[in-house]
Amino acid sequence: MKESDLYLPLKRFLEGQGYEVKGEVMDCDVMAVRGDEEPLLVELKLSLNLSVLLQVVERLSLSSKVYIGVPRDVTVLKKKRKQVLKLIRMLGLGLVRIDPKKSQVEIVLDPIEYKPRIAKRKQERLLGEFVHRVGDPNLGGTATKQGVMTFYRQQALSIGAYLLEHGETKASVISKELDDPKVRSILYRNVYGWFENVARGVYGLSPKGREHLSIKK
């Protein structure tokens, strides 16, 4: 398939919408004009990648109605449709799928101004983690599988260090000594397996916790 194979089905489709259509107008693959409306531009591509997006974005200086025209079975739309459509929408572009064999055209996205909605709860959690984390213990770009030092982990390490030094202790006492109201919850959840409940409200270090914290020490 050639990019030019996509042209005639698209031309017929746009003409059916009342546009006058011409190909290859000053480097624009497809230009369509209808009345006093601003021109509609379509760049015909056989694939979707960064180079294509960078080229098509340049057309936004000519019109706000810019589309990418691709074959109906373009691979990336099968594998990562949701992410690709989100990116195209964010760039203010439109997307058209074209089947030259069946002469079918599908408008997948129309170009609109993209205004992302901020997820307030996630933003608050993000800011909370930033504010409460002690120091800057992680290198940006570190693989998460190597373990990232979060504020929660810092809290758990502080509790572990206290138990390593003082032995089995009531959660209420640790919470008061560390001035941390989350102590009881952290001990109870025991996310890292470092703690064990030895009596009602009393916690100590598990073998795993003792080994881990001894190495840290």
- CA separation for the pair 151, 74 (Å, rounded): 44
Structure-token match 């809290």, residue found: 155
Instruction: Return the pLDDT at 73.
Output: 84
Q: pLDDT at residue 164 above 80?
A: yes
Round the average pLDDT of the chain to a whole number and report it.
Answer: 87
Instruction: Return the pLDDT at 27.
Output: 82
Kindly report the CATH class assigned to 3-109. alpha beta
Q: Which of 111-115, 137-141, 163-167, 181-185 has the lowest mean pLDDT?
A: 137-141
Domain ranges of the chain: 3-109, 120-216
More confident residue, 128 or 10: 10
CATH of the structural domain 120-216, one choice from 3.40.1280.30, 3.40.50.10490, 3.30.420.40, 1.10.10.10 = 1.10.10.10
Burial group, residue 134, by CB count within 10 angstroms (0-12, 13-18, 19+): exposed
Q: Which of 24-28, 94-98, 122-126 has the lowest mean pLDDT?
A: 122-126
Contact in structure between 98 and 9 (CB atoms under 8 Å): yes
| Residue 99 host element (H or E) | strand 94-99
Q: Is 33 helix (H, G, I), strand (E, B) or coil?
A: strand
- Residue ranges of alpha helices (H) inside 81-150 are 81-90, 120-132
Contact in structure between 45 and 54 (CB atoms under 8 Å): no
Structure-token match 């974005």, residue found: 57
Rounded to two decimals, the pTM is 0.61
Local structure of residue 140 (DSSP, 8 states): T
Residue 127 neighbours by CB distance under 10 Å: 10
More confident residue, 208 or 144: 208
